[in-house]
Amino acid sequence: MANSTHHKTDNNTQTWGVLGSYQERKKTRAKWQIRLTIKLTITLKRGGCLGVTKKENISEDYFGINPKGLVPALVHDGRVIIESNDILVYLEQQFPNPGFRDVTDDSQVEIDEWLRQSGDLHIPAIKTFQYFKINAAALEKSKEEEALYWKLQKDPDLRAFHGKHSGGKSFTREDADGASVLLNDIFGKIDGALSDSDWIVADTYTLADISWGPSVTTVLSGGFDFSPYPNVERWYAAICARPQFDKAVLEWRKNAQWEKA
């Protein structure tokens, strides 16, 4: 699991122990069928982006859990896992039934590749596009928040990223255009993967779909144009029709009110 951090936690971190009651939920198959809801709800709602709109992630306590200060972070059995794609992989390993990667070895490799690209593209493509469009203004930090952030944040990529919208600076049209090039490239690839398949890998709903679905939600809200990618549009409509996705992502997003933060 590239990029993941596992380390022991102290009692303070238990507030982020979002999987505390997770195993108790595996009572019925019906319960398991809402596992995605549980996964995404716990990572986004409890630890999550609601907290980010209120800058609750900018605190010594939270940086003690995730040294990058990003959500989500997952605490399970005293281990901390950061990076959403690594969290998905971890949950799959811990709770494999029903599986979201019950596929051949070749398809396993494909899933890992889609997850890797999702992680690698987050800052340069998704986050840059979205901060240019909405988040930089919505998440403007106060002087105190800025001071604390620069004290706590040690990650060079995040320092460079957030440095672009601090001290009166903002992301430029050039930044956004660069991000759009990357987004068009990846959504072109996803469109290709979906040309003869309902789902990204092996015609089965897998971690690849779970990882990329919410990224579409994000950049759609920033106005990204998906019309050149009809297969992605069809696939995303199918994802949105899943009750779990509706509850865990779409409903959450409505409540998070990024645009009005």
Binding site for ligand GSH (CB under 6 A): 49, 52, 57, 69-72, 83-85, 119, 122, 127
Minimum CB distance to ligand GSH smaller for 90 or for 202: 90
Instruction: Compute the least distance from the CB of residue 49 to ligand GSH, in Å.
Output: 4
Shortest distance in whole angstroms from residue 130 CB to ligand GSH: 9
- Closest approach of ligand GSH to the CB of residue 200, in Å: 17
C-alpha dist (Å) from residue 78 to 20, 68, 75, 125, 185? 10, 19, 6, 33, 39
Contact (Cβ atoms closer than 8 angstroms) between residue 69 and residue 152: yes
Question: Beta partners for 201?
Answer: 204
Least distance in angstroms from the C-beta of 18 to ligand GSH = 14
Taking the complex as a whole, how short is the minimal distance between the CB of residue 166 and ligand GSH, in angstroms? 11
Cβ distance to ligand GSH smaller for residue 70 or 232: 70
Q: Output 102 or 145, the one with its CB closest to ligand GSH.
A: 145
63 versus 236: smaller Cβ distance to ligand GSH:
63
> d(Cα 211, Cα 118) in Å, to the nearest integer?
7
Q: Which is nearer to ligand GSH, 57 or 231 (CB)?
A: 57
Q: What's the one-letter identity of residue 185?
A: D
User: 143: Cβ–Cβ under 8 A, 6 or more apart, which residues?
Assistant: none
What H or E segment, with its residue span, contains residue 52? helix 49-53
* CA 208 from centroid of its chain's CA atoms: 12
